[in-house]
Amino acid sequence: MTVPENVLHRILRGTSPDTVAIETENRAYTYHDLQKGVALRCEQLTISGARVVALFESNPVEWLTWDLAILQAGLICVPIPPFFTPSQVQHVLNQTGADTWIGPVLESLSLKALNFAAGLCGWQRRVIPVVMPPGTAKVTFTSGTTGAPKGVCLSAAAMLQVAAALRDAMAGQRIGRHLMLLPLAVLLENLGVWAAFMSGAAVCVRDIKPLSVDAEEQQNLLASIARTRANSMILVPQLLAGLLKAANRGFVLPDSFRFIAVGGGRVAQGLLDQVSKLQWPVYEGYGLSECASVVCLNRPGAHRPGTVGKALPHLQVMLADDGEIMVLGAAVLGYLDNPHDPDQPWPTGDIGTITDGYLTISGRKKHQFITAFGRNVNPEWVEAELCSQPEINQAFVYGEALPINVAVIVSSGSDQAVQSAIDLANTRLPDYAQVSIWIRARAPFSTQNRQLTANGRLRREQILDCYQSFFQPSKLSLECT
């Protein structure tokens, strides 16, 4: 195993030892504390003989410390998302040949059955090493649309380059406090925290579940945002929509915020209009795990609402003949079972347009459906417009081979209020993209029912399977509304 250059120095370079690095509700940890903790765990890892480390630590402070220690020791980190099922976790362990487990043991997962035993670093086992692309430092698993997640291989250099670019994008904004909202197993938040460390900022950790549909959890989220008075945070579109709806009910975003990044899905123009009216410092971006998370980002001085911004300085973005977005310079290693030449462009699977260097996303190629009239529709576009209406919390749109587009709607409003909201959203859409029929969802789309990924994206196959009978052409009727 080749140990990289002092990656810890690259992340913590220029930070003052006495400055707060991580702030919880009960304690503050300085950069000196962080470096000391990383050094201790790095030594433990080296002595243990670990090679591939599954990181399932539930304590964010411990998670961040172990993450940096694994990176510094030149080992391979495999973050285990907290929302993965036991069968998915077992799949991850088998696919990566993980020999070390750090964190609490899942009651429904028998580590002993997988030949793990108590070791120097949690639980360890002897395994036949899995061959990975050279330079792999982290394997992040995408939740995807099926039960078997895909392992994306990332190099330390690629991740550090993105984190440094994010730091530079926030330069001059006086970012002293970053509020961590998304799970750290989500690469976007993981590298966002690294960028905050590179800026010498304090990462504020709070005991909240930002993507929960529970009313009490949503109030906890708003209270935490108000109390921490952070300068930056990362949102997914669903979170942004929720905050804007809270603003309509009286929530006031603290004036301490200077940089709010939003990514993970399309943001509707209606939401962007509300952001502009409220003068919130929201900057939309775009990325994917294969390219170490962020590819494009709006930023102060280079901001065009409605686009996802320009490519990060080390990347080139271009379009294939069919409009698919291609990324060059991300040093993509590919997947565990399908490596990629890092010198070749990466086909993202997304389609879009580029104007003056600013990228606009139309949607996913694989999600695009063709109506019975032969019109191509990107459902993310329609769903974003629907969810920009305050009465609609979530929406799923489908129309493959159908004469009309249909939707599954999550809303607490009356049928009449929902219909009015759909009618208003339809005025922003051409006739072939408008929603004609809708039903209420049986339950909100969530990670718990496997209908939502951790970064707020719809798991379309699961939703389609759940409501399959509604999408049958023979059963569609206006009575559904």
Q: What pLDDT digit, counting tens, does each position of 269-281 carry? A: 888 899 999 999 9
The pLDDT tens digits for 122-178 are 999 999 999 999 999 999 997 654 456 789 999 999 999 999 999 999 999 999 999
Distances (CA, A) of 130 to 100, 332, 337, 425, 467: 14, 19, 10, 50, 39
| Positions of CATH 3.40.50.980 in the chain | 7-130
Q: What is the Cα–Cα distance from 181 to 425, expressed in whole angstroms?
A: 29
Tokens of residue 198, six digits: 């590179």
Q: Among 155, 160, 193, 157, which Cα is nearest to 177's?
A: 193
Predicted pLDDT of residue 74: 95
β 346-355/338-339 pair status: unpaired
Quote the pLDDT of residue 282.
97
CA 196 to chain centre: 17
Domain with CATH 3.40.50.12780 in the chain: 157-316+349-364
Q: Where in the chain is the domain with CATH 3.30.300.30?
A: 369-480
Q: Indicate the DSSP class of residue 129.
A: P
Q: What is the pLDDT of residue 471?
A: 78
CA dist 48 and 42 (Å) reads 10
In CATH, which superfamily holds the domain spanning 369-480? ANL, C-terminal domain (3.30.300.30)
3-state secondary structure at position 459: coil
CB atoms within 10 A of CB 249: 8
Cα three-residue angle 302-204-300, rounded to 5 degrees: 10
Higher pLDDT, 474 or 40: 40
- Between 231 and 480, whose confidence is greater? 231
39-43, 175-179, 293-297, 460-464: segment of lowest average pLDDT: 460-464
The H-assigned helical ranges of 49-186 are: 60-72, 86-96, 156-169
7-130 topology per CATH: Rossmann fold (3.40.50)
Q: What CATH code is assigned to 157-316+349-364?
A: 3.40.50.12780
Looking at residue 397, what is its pLDDT? 96
pLDDT given for residue 475 in this prediction: 53
Residue 311's pLDDT band (boundaries 50, 70, 90)?
Answer: very high
Decide if pLDDT at 78 tops 90: yes
Residue 141 and residue 347 in contact, taking contact as beta carbons nearer than 8 Å: no
Compute the half-sphere exposure of residue 10: CA atoms within 13 Å on the CB side of its CA.
17
The pLDDT tens digits of the residues spanning 83-125 come to 787 888 999 999 999 999 999 988 888 898 899 999 999 999 9
pLDDT tens digits along 329-383: 999 999 998 999 999 999 999 999 999 999 998 888 888 887 877 677 889 889 9
Q: What is the pLDDT of residue 79?
A: 97
Say what the pLDDT of residue 3 is. Answer: 40
Q: Could you count the other beta carbons within 10 Å of the beta carbon of residue 476?
A: 16
Least reliable range by pLDDT among 39-43, 69-73, 105-109, 369-373: 369-373
